[in-house]
Structure 1
Amino acid sequence: MTRSELSHYLQTFLQVSNFKDYAPNGLQVEGKAQIHTLVTGVTASQALIDEAIRLNADAILVHHGFFWKSEPEVITGMKQRRIKALLAHDINLFGYHLPLDAHPVLGNNAQLARVLELVNAEVVEEVAQGLLWRGNLDQPMRAADVSQKLCQALNRAPLHIGDPEAQIYSLAWCTGGAQDYIDAAAALGVDAFISGEVSERTYHSAVEQGIHYFAAGHHATERFGIQALGRHLAREFGLEHHFVDIDNPV
C-alpha cells in the first residue's frame, strides 16, 4: 500500500480528529512512498529504529513518537541521530498516542482488559477523553493474587499499594502514565486502579481514599495496542509485520 493510503486509513480508523494530544498523531517523518514491511513498537527509540533498518522496514508505527510539546524544538543530539537514521534509510515514522490508547477494540486499554481477562469492560466516557475504563474480575480475588495475575500477563511485577490480603472485584484502569486518574477511579467506587507509573502523591491518594493501586509499568501496559494494530494492518492490507519489543523497566 502507499504511504498516503496508510496515513488516511489510520487517521480515520483511530478517529484522530477527536483528540487533543501532546504530540502530532500521524506521519511524523516521511519516507518511501510504497509500504510493504511494517515494524511496530511502543517507542521510537534508537534501538527500535536500528532493528527496523535491519528488517528492511518501509515504515515504523509506534505509540510514542517524536515532537512532544514539552521537548526542545531543535533537531540536535539524540533526536538528530534518530531522524538522520530514518531519513538515510527512507523509513516512514507514524506515531499515534491518545487515539491508540482509546480505540475501543485495538487500543491499549481495550487490549489490557483482554490480556487480564477482565469482564464487563467499558469506557468511562465522561473522564479524560474516554481514556479511563472500568470492569471486573471474573470473581473476587486477593490483592496479592491480582499482583500475581499482572506479573504473569505483563512479565513484570507491579508495585501494589494496599493490603495484599484484601479482596478485589471491581477495577478501573488507564495504561501508561495515568497515575493521577486515581482520584477519578476512586470516585467510581471501584476496589482498585491499574496504571503504568506511580508518583509520590499516588500513595497518599490510594491510602486516604481506600483504593488499591497497581503500578504495572508504562511500557508493560502499553505493549498490546500497537501489536494489535500492526496485526490488523497486516491482515487488512497484506503487509509484512514485525513487532519489536525494546524492553523498558519503567
Structure 2
Amino acid sequence: MLHRDQLEAYLNDYLSVESISDYAPNGLQVEGREEIGRLVTGVSACASLLEKAEAAKADAILVHHGYFWKGEENRIVGYKARRLRRLLCSGMNLFAYHLPLDVHLEVGNNAALGDMLELTNESRYSIKGIPDLLWFGVPGQELSANQLSQRLESVLGQAPLHVGSGPGLIRRIAWCSGGAERLIEQACAYGADAFISGEISEPIPHIAREAGIHYFAAGHHATERGGVQRLGEHIAAKFDIDHQYIEIANPA
C-alpha cells in the first residue's frame, strides 16, 4: 500500500510541477482514502471513467485532464456536482497532471507519441515559458504525406485529418500532443516539413498551405493516451501497487 501524500509528493517532484505555470491545479484535486493499493489511469476524469474506476475498486484515479480549469464556471452544479459526489462517496482520490505530463522527457505525451511513431528525437523547444513543449524528430526513412497519415492511423487507431501542401517527401517532423495546432508557425520557423497535433481550427489549413507545411490533426484524445499509461506503469513498478488503464472512447 502507498500513502496518498507520499504518492502526491513523488509525482509533483518527478513531473517538476513547480517549474510549470498551468491552466489548472496539478496534483491531488480531490482527496480520498489515505492508503492506495490500486491505481486507475485515464485521459479525462469524465463520469464514465469514474464509474469504471469505482467498479474496478480503485483507490486513486490519475488523469491528464482533471477539473478546476481557469476561466470555467465556478459553481459545483449539474454534471460537476455528480462527478464530485461520486468521487467523495467512493473514497477515491483524483490526481491530475496537465502540462507537466505533456512535456516530461520519459513518460510524457510528446515522448510517448514520438516513440509510437518511431521518430528519432532531434530537438525540443520551449514555448512561452513552457519547457520542451514542441518536439522535433526524424523518421527512419523519408515519408510521403500519405505514408505518415497511414502510420498515424495505425498507431493511434483513427485516421488523421491532413491539410497543407508541404514537400513531397517528409524528412523532419514537429509534434505537440493535444490542442497545440497554433504552434504550426513555430514548427515552420524551426524548419519542419510536417507538424502533428491533436486538433484543428479555422486558420490552420490556410497557414499550412501558404507556409508550405503538412499539418496532421490526429486527435486530442488519441495523441494524449500515452502519458498517463506510461506514468501509471512507472508508479506501479516503483511502489508495487496495481495499475489499470481504462480507455474511454473520444473521437475529438
TM-score surpassing 0.5? Answer: yes
After the TM superposition, which residues 124-139 of structure 1 pair with which residues of structure 2 at under 5 Å, given as runs? Answer: 124-125=125-126, 129=130, 130-139=132-141
Name structure 1 gaps, 5 residues minimum.
none
Amino acid at match of 1:144: N
Question: Are the counterparts in 2 of residues 42 and 219 from structure 1 also a CA contact under 8 Å?
Answer: yes
Q: Report the Cα offset of residue 122 of structure 1.
A: 2.9
Among 203, 214, 217, which residue is 2:216 paired with?
Answer: 214
Q: Report the Cα offset of residue 121 of structure 1.
A: 3.8
Q: Could you list the per-position Cα deviations for residues 189-227 of structure 1 after superposition, in whole angstroms to 9, with x for gaps in the alignment?
A: 110000000001111111111111000000000000100
After the TM superposition, which residues 1-250 of structure 1 pair with which residues of structure 2 at under 5 Å, given as runs? Answer: 1-125=2-126, 129=130, 130-163=132-165, 166-250=168-252
Q: Could you list the per-position Cα deviations for residues 147-190 of structure 1 after superposition, in whole angstroms to 9, with x for gaps in the alignment?
A: 00000000010000135982111011000000000000010111
Q: TM-score, normalised by structure 2?
A: 0.97
How far apart in 1 are the matches of 2:137 and 2:77? 44
How far apart in 2 are the matches of 1:63 and 1:18? 17
How far apart in 1 are the matches of 2:241 and 2:122? 31
Question: Are the counterparts in 2 of residues 143 and 163 from structure 1 also a CA contact under 8 Å?
Answer: no
How far apart in 1 are the matches of 2:44 and 2:34? 23
Q: Could you list the per-position Cα deviations for residues 48-76 of structure 1 after superposition, in whole angstroms to 9, with x for gaps in the alignment?
A: 00000000000000000000012111100
Q: Report the Cα offset of residue 120 of structure 1.
A: 3.1
How far apart in 1 are the matches of 2:142 and 2:129? 28
* Secondary structure at the counterpart of residue 141 of structure 1: coil
Amino acid at match of 2:163: I
Q: Report the Cα offset of residue 127 of structure 1.
A: 5.6
Question: Are the counterparts in 2 of residues 127 and 184 from structure 1 also a CA contact under 8 Å?
Answer: no
Amino acid at match of 1:158: P
How far apart in 1 are the matches of 2:129 and 2:225? 21
* Secondary structure at the counterpart of residue 138 of structure 1: coil
Q: Report the Cα offset of residue 101 of structure 1.
A: 0.2
Percent identity of paired positions between Structure 1 and Structure 2: 51
* Secondary structure at the counterpart of residue 117 of structure 1: coil
How far apart in 1 are the matches of 2:170 and 2:154? 18
* Secondary structure at the counterpart of residue 178 of structure 2: coil
How far apart in 1 are the matches of 2:144 and 2:134? 23
How far apart in 2 are the matches of 1:104 and 1:164? 28
Kindly report the root-mean-square deviation, in angstroms, between the aligned alpha carbons of the 2 structures. Answer: 1.2
Question: Are the counterparts in 1 of residues 165 and 208 from structure 2 also a CA contact under 8 Å?
Answer: no
How far apart in 1 are the matches of 2:164 and 2:150? 14
How far apart in 2 are the matches of 1:190 and 1:122? 11
**Greater shift in the superposed pair: 172-181 or 120-129:** 120-129
How far apart in 1 are the matches of 2:121 and 2:20? 25
How far apart in 2 are the matches of 1:206 and 1:70? 30
Question: Are the counterparts in 1 of residues 37 and 59 from structure 2 also a CA contact under 8 Å?
Answer: yes
Name structure 2 gaps, 5 residues minimum.
none
How far apart in 1 are the matches of 2:161 and 2:42? 24
